[in-house]
Chain A
Amino acid sequence: MARIDLQSLGHSYISNPKGDDDYALKPMTHVWEQGGAYALLGPSGCGKTTLLNIISGLLTPSEGRVLFDGKDVTALPTEARNIAQVFQFPVVYDTMTVYENLAFPLRNRGLRGAPLDARVREIAGLLDLTADLNRRGRNLTADAKQKISLGRGLVRPDVAAILFDEPLTVIDPHLKWELRSKLKALHRALDLTMIYVTHDQTEALTFADKVVVMHDGRVVQVGRPQELFERPAHVFVGHFIGSPGMNVLPAEVSGRAARVGGHVIALRRGYPALNGGAKIEIGVRPEFATLAPAGAGGVPVRVRRLDDLGRTRIARVELSGLPMAATVPEDLTLAGDEASLLLDPAMVHVYADGTLVEGEAA
């Protein structure tokens, strides 16, 4: 059982951080609920691994506290926390058999004899490693090694949370899917909190119930995959999730209308009080921008290129010289490069300095 609380947690590798830029992880407060499957998503160098190492205790944060079920563990060493971690490169003790590898954490904690044997065999069964128990670690494939790394975490009865640091990086593509399904199944079977760090949106969105998106040492959005898709809280989330990413256009917004290069785009919500100095942009995903023949309403655009993605077609268009991506309906045929773009007003979001502005509902 573990609910993990991060309270004004921040970390800097510099001793006296002055500005925001000095932090590898900017001060944040966040709660990981017991039993959740979380993905920590972000590009390389955004602080994901720093955050993970703080939770597992490999790193002591320079600010703030970490609580497990309300108990302050900030100063506790990693072996005293009921947590396990799986690393990018599989860690297997070469000289030991698979059985000894799985037994290792238990032996280190003083468990011996029949209870140890039963536990090791149970976990080996869960991970489909029973047939390999007597083999040496060094001759196994990368995915089997990664299963052993995971097994050494699962085998400990005290473990309440498992952290994954890009665990599928060195796994063959066709085995990635299999191993990820295994993780999902284990999460359902065992009452464990799982935090999965990745920079791959597919991995994050398929694994997790909740995705935490990080950017530049900061958590920019926490939400279900659908929320991240439909209501990105930050233009970064819009760019990073989805392929192609969200269209972001500089605009002037007043009331329920956005003005982009002389064209008016309707909004579902009203924005009466936007900060005057901020950079205002609107964002709309290509999935909610549909191409239509010229004169069909919407805003006029110029079509530059059509990309056939197999199942769908994406049009690269220009709206007053600004590049955008849009969905092309199956039955659409275009004459020339003039077309019009229909935008779903509910899916057009307004951002001030990159952050989503909540409008006033109708």
Chain B
Amino acid sequence: MDKPVNQGAWLLVLPVLLIVAFSAILPLMTVVNYSVQDTFGNNQFFWNGIGWYQELLDPSTDLGGRFFDALWRNLLFSLLILLIEVPLGIAVALSMPRHGWRVAATLVVLALPLLIPWNVVGTIWQIFAREDIGLLGWAVNRLGIPYNYTADPLSAWVTIVVMDVWHWTSLVALLCYAGLRSIPDAFYQAARIDGASRWAVFRNIQLPKMHRVLLIAVLLRFMDSFMIYTEPFVVTGGGPGNSTTFVSIDLVKLALGQFDLGKAAALSIVYNLIILAVCWVFYTVMTRMDAQRN
């Protein structure tokens, strides 16, 4: 079989290649370049090989210690919000109306938090949770529960987790709702005739239909929470102490606060690789599961 070959087709791909080169590949190479060098300013660079990486991945060094502390915080945070947002999102989706004008009303209300810029979300909660003038912080303290996110690490964590749940549960709920909407009424009617309990309906009809969107929701929420920066930066600035300093916050401190370009570059490349690796694992698991079901 002869296929016509026209090398001129490369011209058509060229614009995209150029854009990607300037927007992604060149900056990335700059970062790689920084990560293997050291600088003392004056635009003078010295070769450092894999020195920064060795320091970064060794928890006994100062840099490595900071990195792993922040990484565990990130993982704990992602785990917490997944454990809360996924079941809560499913519950919200299940209790949403299926017909009538209330559908539109619910969708609008649910979409609201998703439409607010992230730093505004942070600002809202920063004020809302203040113990002196914030409605939430003031009320909680009046109830006799000591709560101050600027002084107490537990309060800071609770604030950030609750803020993320408020901000992103809607996304999980909307995705699940889309899955639920694809179930024809006949399934529910057949289940009633079969005498199925509410739990059996959920287990055998609703959950299988939501399975796919749930995987996407978990993936999105994991990636997003693992890269979280703006909201905790606005609310706590990483404090009190380092208790809410996530990897991204530490990275910015390192690069812009201390101007340690080499360390920061090595950190961002490792950070990037971790996210890529997790993405790959998710993708493989998802495609495997799909293949098994068919």
Contacts and interface: CB of A to CB of B under 8 A. Distances in A.
B195 A58 contact: no
Interface in B179-225: 184, 186-187, 189-190, 192-197, 200, 204-205, 208
Interface residues of A, number: 27
A77 B189 CA distance: 11
A162 to B, nearest CB: 10
Interface string A94-105: 111000000011
Nearest to B192: A78
B294 interface: yes
The residue among A87, A91, A138 with the most chain B CB atoms within 10 A of its own CB is: A91
A87 B190 contact: yes
Contacts of A84: 193
Interface in A134-167: 136, 138-139, 149, 152-153
A108 B193 contact: no
Contact of A138 (B186, B192, B195, B293): B293
Question: For the complex, would chain A's binding face be called helix, strand, loop or mixed by DSSP majority?
Answer: mixed
A90 to B, nearest CB: 9
B193 A109 contact: no
The 8 closest A-B pairs by CB, nearest first: A91-B190, A108-B195, A87-B186, A105-B194, A79-B195, A93-B204, A95-B208, A78-B192
Contacts, number: 55
Interface string A53-88: 100101000000000000000000111000111011
29 contacts: A56-B193, A58-B189, A58-B192, A78-B189, A78-B192, A79-B193, A79-B194, A83-B193, A85-B189, A88-B186, A89-B184, A91-B186, A93-B204, A93-B208, A94-B208, A95-B204, A96-B204, A104-B196, A104-B200, A104-B204, A105-B193, A105-B194, A108-B200, A136-B293, A138-B293, A139-B294, A152-B190, A152-B194, A153-B193
A58 B189 CA distance: 7
A87 B184 CA distance: 11
Contacts of B205: 93
Contact of A89 (B186, B196, B294): B186
A79 B198 CA distance: 13
A77 B197 CA distance: 13
B192 A79 contact: yes
Question: For the complex, would chain B's binding face be called helix, strand, loop or mixed by DSSP majority?
Answer: helix
Contact of B192 (A77, A89, A93, A136): A77
B192 A104 contact: no
Interface in B242-294: 293-294
A158 to B, nearest CB: 10
B211 to A, nearest CB: 9
Given A152-B194, A153-B193, 20 more contacts: A58-B189, A58-B192, A83-B193, A84-B193, A85-B193, A87-B186, A87-B190, A91-B187, A91-B190, A93-B204, A93-B208, A96-B204, A104-B194, A104-B204, A105-B194, A105-B195, A108-B197, A138-B293, A149-B190, A152-B190
A85 B196 contact: no
Contacts of B204: 93, 95-96, 104
Given A87-B186, A89-B184, A89-B186, A78 B193 contact: yes
A227 B195 CA distance: 39
Contacts of A83: 193
A85 B190 contact: yes
Contacts of A77: 192
A58 B194 CA distance: 12
A89 B182 CA distance: 14
A121 B92 CA distance: 40
Contacts of B194: 79, 104-105, 108, 152
Nearest to A85: B193
A2 to B, nearest CB: 15
B30 to A, nearest CB: 50
Nearest to B209: A94
